[in-house]
Structure 1
Amino acid sequence: MDSVTQAALGAAVAGLVAGKKCSPKVLLAGAALGTLPDLDVLMNYGDPVSDMVKHRGFSHSIFVLLPFSLLLAWCWQKLRPTQFGFTQLWLLIAACLITHPLLDAFTSYGTQLLWPLPVSVAVSSIFIIDPLYTVPLLVMVGASLLWRRNMARLCGIGLAISSLYLGWSVIALNIVEGRVQDQLANTPMADKPVFIAPTPINTVLWRVVVLDGDTYWEGLTSLMDEDKTIDFIAKDRGHWTLDEKPQHLVMLEDFTSQFVKYEQVGESLTATDLRLGMVEYLPFKFVFAKLDSDGAWSSALPVQLESPNVRPKHLPALWLRLLGNQDIDANLCHAKECPKPVESDV
């Protein structure tokens, strides 16, 4: 999730754990602790694919954060004695640190909660920025600064509201999963890999991607749709055309669970993460090989291409689609990239 959300979550958690000992300084410390795991973005692993894959790695692991919280609590008490006992202080620090990756795990990106074990958790029920989750935390933390007699209670209310919304996002995901399973059952697509994620800043309109060899199918479904049938649009997924795959491409494929699109763009071979973004707005696109002067393909360290700009004209269409207008699905895609749905195939 974004830094504002993580800071608000850390502050609310700290306020709740502190109880009657809560103060503005406690909220500030909680906000700082809540953003601490994301400092790994400052680390340079040498190339954009490694930076992407290794983000939310060791700094988001409970195997790292738990002992680190113990060390931090011990140092805090030694260097700056507080009104908290060691157990409460450790619980406050650990809760602020660990709720950060737990929340991240509900997004589509993937969070290595059990690093160094090769396990990535991505529930994919909430977008990386969602005001309906963040605003209750911000409002209640702000209110606690005004009415200081009820700081812990107000922080608890904010956490309760946000947690209920997070729980709702999982319910909404299950509803969409049921729709997809029902539609694909008894078709050639029944056993194909499926990816489902909410569209930006909501949990009502959802994006569905189905892999089918050199093709992938993309569709939108809203919880407000009267017709539950998803209009899938066929798109060219391509394949890696060279005999050998660069190590970094294999890393990207593993990280995305093979949800990758392959293209030749001019004299470059590219691969794009299909999970993050929607329609033609797919921000994680990398060059893995280039055509040299001798006409041979050569691999080098991957280079990330500039993300496409969002077209303002698509925003009203996206809002109407969220409200259940199923006549505008194709309008959200670029005409050259989105052929008409083939209903007999899906």
Structure 2
Amino acid sequence: MNKIVVGLSGGVDSSAAAAILHHQGYEVIGLTLWLMKGKGQCCSEGMIDAAYICEQLGIPHHIVDIRDVFQTNIIDYLVDGYSTGITPLPCSQCNKTVKFGPMLQYARENLECDRIATGHYARIQHDPATGRYQLLRAFDRNKDQSYFLYDLSQELLAGSVFPLGELQKSETRQLADKYKLKTADKPESQDLCLVESNGSMRAFLDKYLAPKKGDIVDTSGKILGEHDGVHHYTIGQRKGIGIAAAEPLYVIALDAVNNRVIVGDRTKVTEPECTVERVNWVSIAEPSTPIRAEVQIRYRSTPVPVTVIPLENSRVRLVFDEPQFSITPGQAAVWYEGEKVLGGGIIEQTVNSEQ
């Protein structure tokens, strides 16, 4: 089948992906998900630009209203997480439950199409030996988004195409210019869509979580200052704590139950291991014994050597070769073998977080 549905956010990357496939001879159908009201990509402005791109390319454009799904799976998820003292990562959750899943379902049920494409920078290949679809880093390591895609199932990987995976960002811009796309010079989104539409994460959270004053304490429980809500802080934070001290202080734990922010020196926020839950094994089947890999505990962090120890109930323990700074509950840990994503999951409470 030469038909493919392309998810269009109104940005240059998804626009270029659609144009590339269109010029390769595919029967392209544009699909934009209506996630929320407001400005920015994936919102009102993005839908208008996506519609314009479809008009330029002469392809159909569908808009699917999934605001309720986005509210439940992303907004409620974020608010609940921050209120309990963790720092949730919405992007991987959004990709699986809000974008790829609903897009592929809509394509199959309404458009008689079993493949979708997006403007993500990553690659997919099929391994005949194991029968698994493997997720690989993009050629452009500065734009690589495989970290955010670790939670895609084998079914979703089998039905997905990433036309930009072998391109540099500069090449994407050049192609968008070549095809005279309206979005060719559109600035990139620098933040999460919720941050972009609300101005800051703090402003977004303040719409849902009321200020609640509490104590900032050291590890002995000594009160050092006052905060106006644990949801305004994250593990490893140094700036904005508002306490003068001889040595720099970092947030080392968030105690939502007692409404306390716990701070300490840098050594207190560096740990040798952590546990990870909701693990999805991507390019390989779940191993029964420990494996060696390289792990990223944040999107922009440098991959570091680690031993991944499988546990029960879709969990693993990560033992780092060297202690790592700012391991943050709620964020994703994704482990690789070279350019191949082996698996990933959500960081649980760490030793310091349980104080």
Structure showing the higher helix proportion among its residues: 1
Normalising TM by the smaller chain, what interval? Answer: under 0.3
Structure showing the higher strand proportion among its residues: 2
